[in-house]
Structure 1
Amino acid sequence: MLIQRLQPPLRASLTSIARSGASNSHTGLHEAFAALRLCQKETQGGNLNFVRYATHKAQGAVNKAKDGPGKRLGCKKSGEQYVIPGNIIFRQRGTHWFPGDNCAMGRDHTIYATESGYVKYYKDPERHPKRQYIGVVFERNQVLPLPRNSMRRRRLGLAASQMEFSTVAETPEVVEESAELQGEEGAVQTQVSAPAPAKKVRERKGEEGRVLTLRPGYMYREANWEIGRAAERAKIQVRAFKPRDRWTAWKKATVRKVANAGKRGLRGGGKQGKK
């Protein structure tokens, strides 16, 4: 804001008026009016003295560090680049990319490799029409996504293949017939031996008839309802549960907790007094 400096003429006129009261009133008034006219002429002529006051707050540095260094988001491994288990492939905020074959995603949406291989960026319309995936393959020329229900290569670079089992077990009669045929042709006849009896596995007490299956988490255990029948299988008499007055039990427990809290307070007060 600009303010005119009019203090000296006004101060002179006021001084002259004060003097006029003491001496001649007419002369003092004439001097005061002359001072005011002089002030008006200076104002109209443009002879002004201005004072500049700050109207804006002083600004600080422009390129000042705000929240420390960046988070270093983005791609860390490009397509067809070799990675090992645990290598970070992509850092992101949100799921712009999703984990595909042989990849996983951390809690901060970081995608990392779970197997050694080559990185592949791809889309899988059959799985999701719009999502983008990152996967790892064992061979550089392999293409993702793989066809549905196709053979997958797993850990150690091995290919999964279906094993063929014979559905009909060889009985002693079949073995005798094959031996007779060999004798007719001049082969040496072999004496057929009876199959060895299966070794009986000794079961622990209380575990008779238990069927342990492989459950999630790679644990061999049975269902919870079967675990609850362990005492029944072991023929152990368990005392039946008899519900009583729960309100009375709750009241006693409340009184006991209050008494224990009071004892703890007394022990703490004594220690503080000793200190």
Structure 2
Amino acid sequence: MFQSRLLAPLRALDRSSRTSLPSAFRTITTTTTTRINTTTLRTPSSLLTTTLTKPTLPQTSFPNIQIRHASHATQGTANRHSRDPAGKRLGAKRTAGEYVVPGCIIFRQRGTKWFPGENCAMGRDHTIYAAQAGYVRYYLDPERHSERKYIGVVFEKDGKLPVPRNAPSRRKLGRVKVRFEVEGEEGVKGGKGDLVAKVGEEGTVVGSVGKVEIQQSEELQLRPGYMYREANWVIGRAAEKAGITAKVYNRKNRWLAWRKRTAKAERAAQMKSLKSKKKGAKKAKK
């Protein structure tokens, strides 16, 4: 029974060794199989010892041994190149001499490499844009700053920046900054008072009226919005008119401080009890 079970694998091993193994190893396997067939199959103990013993193989190279190498790269390197963020499209959007309209972006930047000059403004992300319609100019202004570079807008195509010192800065429609002076203390162009518009049969007529001194009266006056109310300064001086004076606060008067503190605590407790009563009434209704 044991012999039929052991001979089949040993014969298969013998066939494979004859075809692939060297001649020295074939002799060793042949001697071991004949020895098992003649003597060792009778006793189980000798069978165990014979099967556990390994024959000494000669130091020869096996030609059929294959080595497995990695077929693809390690994990993680495939997404290495996708981490580079997209460009933010910084830099100049309009060249010098190009026509722009209000709100047109001229230069995008991170930080203040360029500063807003004449008729330009800067956004919160340091973007310089046009505040007026005109032509773009990149320039330096040593009188304002020795190292800063500015971007401005001029209204004429042949206009230059910076403007001369103390010269009025040009604005839209060719206007300049001029100091406005009133020709008389009483009004403009010799008038006597404010301008008032009247609507009549001929239409709306604008004329000037003399100043009217408003007399303060004790009665309540009709305020704008059709409500009767005194002026704020009148309300503020009511105590002074009535002759009421407040006592000077004394930090050392601890008796007065204790009374205020206890009154405040009692008021808080009273409000708390009222809230609890309201909650109890709502629960009872439900």
Task: With the length of structure 1 as denominator, give the TM-score of the two structures.
Answer: 0.52
Mean Cα deviation higher: 103-112 or 154-163: 154-163
Are 1:59 and 2:77 matched, yes or no?
yes
The separation in 2 between residues aligned to 1:266 and 1:260, in whole angstroms, is 10
Match of 2:67 among 38, 50, 54: 50
Higher RCO (C-alpha under 8 Å, 6+ residues apart): 1
Say which of 100, 103, 107 aligns to 1:83: 100
Whether contact under 8 Å (1:231, 1:237) holds in the other structure is no
CA contact (8 A) 1:205 1:234 kept: no
User: Quick check: 1:98–1:133 contact (8 Å CA) kept in 2?
Assistant: yes
Summarize deviations over 1:154-179 as a string: whole Å, max 9, x none: 23222345689989xxxxxxxxxxxx
Instruction: From 84, 89, 112, give the equivalent of 1:72.
Output: 89
The one-letter code sitting in structure 2 at the alignment partner of 1:87 is C
* Gapped regions of structure 1 (runs ≥ 5): 1-7, 168-197, 207-228
Structure 1 residues 200 and 89: CA distance shift in structure 2, 3 A: same
Alignment of 1:168-207 (within 5 A): 199-203=210-214
**Shift in Å, 1:136:** 0.8
One-letter code aligned to 1:90: F
Q: 2: distance between equivalents of 1:265 and 1:91?
A: 61
Partner of 2:124, secondary structure, is coil
How is 1:232-271 mapped onto 2 (pairs within 5 angstroms)? 236-237=238-239, 245=257, 247-248=261-262, 251=265
SS of residue paired to 1:28 = helix
In the other structure, the counterpart of 1:41 is 60
Q: Which amino acid aligns with 1:112?
A: Y
Q: How does 1:216-235 map onto structure 2 within 5 Å?
A: 231=233
How far does residue 85 in structure 1 lie from its aligned partner after superposition? 1.6
C-alpha distance 260-47 of structure 1, shift in aligned 2 (>3 A): farther
Alignment of 1:121 onto 2:141:
no
C-alpha spacing 1:152/1:26, structure 2 compared with 1 (3 Å): closer
RMSD: 4.9
**TM-aligned CA deviation for residue 256 of structure 1:** 7.3
The percent of aligned pairs where both chains have the same amino acid is 37
What is the TM-score of this pair, normalised by structure 2? Answer: 0.50
Q: Which ranges in structure 2 are unaligned for 5 or more consecutive residues?
A: 1-16, 22-28, 185-208, 218-230, 250-255
| Alignment length (residue pairs) | 199
Larger Rg: 2
1:158 — aligned with what? 175
Give the superposition deviation at 1:266. 8.1
Between 121-130 and 20-29, report the one with greater CA deviation. Answer: 20-29
Which residue number in structure 1 is paired with residue 154 of structure 2?
A: 137
Specify whether residues 159 and 250 from structure 1 end up closer, same or farther in structure 2 by C-alpha distance, changes over 3 A only: same
Q: Distance in 2 between matches of 1:236 and 1:75?
A: 65
